Amino acid sequence: MITTGLIGDPVAHSVSPAMHNAAFAHYGLPDRYTLWPTPAAALSGRIAALRAVGMRGANVTLPHKTAVIALLDELDPVAAAVGAVNTIVRLPDGRLRGLNTDVAGFLRALAQAGVDAAGRTALLLGAGGAARAVGYGLIMAGVAALVVANRTPARAAALVDDLRTSAGPATRLTATALDDDALGAALAEADVLINATSAGLHAEALPVPEAALGPRLLVVDLIYRTTPLLRAAAARGARTQDGLEMLVQQGALAFEAWTGLAAPLEVMRAAAHVALKEQV
Ligand code: NAP
């Protein structure tokens, strides 16, 4: 019985079905999670179908995370602040509520790596949807200073402006260009480096000066596999984490919102790992 799925375009390479179907099976539930490839013109119809009795909800990915908001009945405060929804929950009366579990998923992944962002200094690469969720997560966790660096600097500046409305007055927020000479200095001061750009899996050049990577850093790459950046960081003694843990954590929060059951994290993590390996 299909009760959940992933709405996006494209969705073919997602490991979410493996992860959620393993979680449903763990509880002996008849639910299935499927892929719903959805071009923009089909989005409103797809969302309307979630209102049917028996549906639990959906995940939403590129390019619909913002556009979907207008089709929902209510938003949780985090999704409203970020301006993006990655999870829809069908309420018992058929109304649809939008959540953003990427934010808490990122923070839980950080915690899994042993890092509490409170009072820390972070360098965030990217200013797209994922960077936006990470930026809000870091602000919510009480980061002391955050530099956002992006290929298109105007987008970094726009994200920093948005984050300012949620940040405390003492939080130092800076926007810069990815190729700015100051990036090395920003990295030298950082406790955490997060790559939230979609570049990097096969990139020849690292997005930051390699010499500034060192043992004091946690380096997170939201890409699901080990990247050249993570390899270089590990070689220089930094702790590293790829994007799979954030994916699992945001999925676990979605599962809990749909079912009210504790997410079987180990089961979901193992299923995601296997599905990702099968794609190689
Ligand atoms: P997005 O909204 O399209 O943003 C893409 C970002 O990457 C922008 O900042 C863009 O810069 C930058 N970028 C793209 N190509 C680049 C290049 N060649 N050089 C430098 N910067 C480049 O995408 P997104 O949703 O934020 O996703 C970003 C990455 O995060 C993807 O790899 C995605 O798979 C991953 N992700 C992971 C999770 C997770 O749970 N682990 C969740 C969401 C996303 P411009 O602004 O200059 O275009």
Q: What is residue 146's three-state secondary structure?
A: strand
CB of residue 127 inside a 6 A radius of ligand 1: yes
pLDDT digits (tens, 9 = 90+) for 57-112: 999 999 999 999 999 999 999 999 999 999 999 999 999 999 999 999 999 999 99
User: Which is catalytic among the residues 20, 56, 64, 65?
Assistant: 65
pLDDT attached to residue 121: 97
Distances (CA, A) of 273 to 32, 133, 270: 19, 23, 5
pLDDT attached to residue 274: 97
For ligand 1, atom 14: residue with the closest CA: 198
Q: Return the CATH class of domain 2-100+247-279.
A: alpha beta
Q: Rounded to whole angstroms, how far apart are CA atoms 161 and 171?
A: 12
pLDDT attached to residue 205: 84
Q: Is 277 a catalytic residue?
A: no
Structural domain spans, the chain: 2-100+247-279, 103-242
Average pLDDT across the chain, whole number: 95
For 208, what's the count of Cα atoms within 13 Å in the CB-facing half-sphere? 35
pLDDT digits (tens, 9 = 90+) for 167-201: 989 999 999 999 888 888 899 999 999 999 988 77
pLDDT digits (tens, 9 = 90+) for 250-279: 999 999 999 999 999 999 999 999 999 998
Q: How would residue 161 be classed by pLDDT, with cut points 50, 70 and 90?
A: very high
For 235, what's the count of Cα atoms within 13 Å in the CB-facing half-sphere? 10
Q: Burial code of 66-81, b = ≥16 C-beta within 10 A, e = fewer? A: eebbebbeebbebbeb
Tell me what percent of the residues of the chain surpass a pLDDT of 90: 93
CB of residue 149 inside a 6 A radius of ligand 1: no
pLDDT attached to residue 40: 98
pLDDT digits (tens, 9 = 90+) for 133-150: 999 999 999 999 999 999
pLDDT attached to residue 59: 98
Q: Burial code of 154-167, b = ≥16 C-beta within 10 A, e = fewer? A: ebbbbbbebbeeeb
What's the full length of the chain, in residues? Answer: 280
CATH code for the structural domain at 103-242: 3.40.50.720
CB of residue 213 inside a 6 A radius of ligand 1: no
How buried is 39 (Cβ within 10 angstroms: 0-12 exposed, 13-18 middle, 19+ buried)? Answer: exposed
Judge if 2-100+247-279 and 103-242 fold alike in CATH terms.
yes
The pTM score is: 0.95
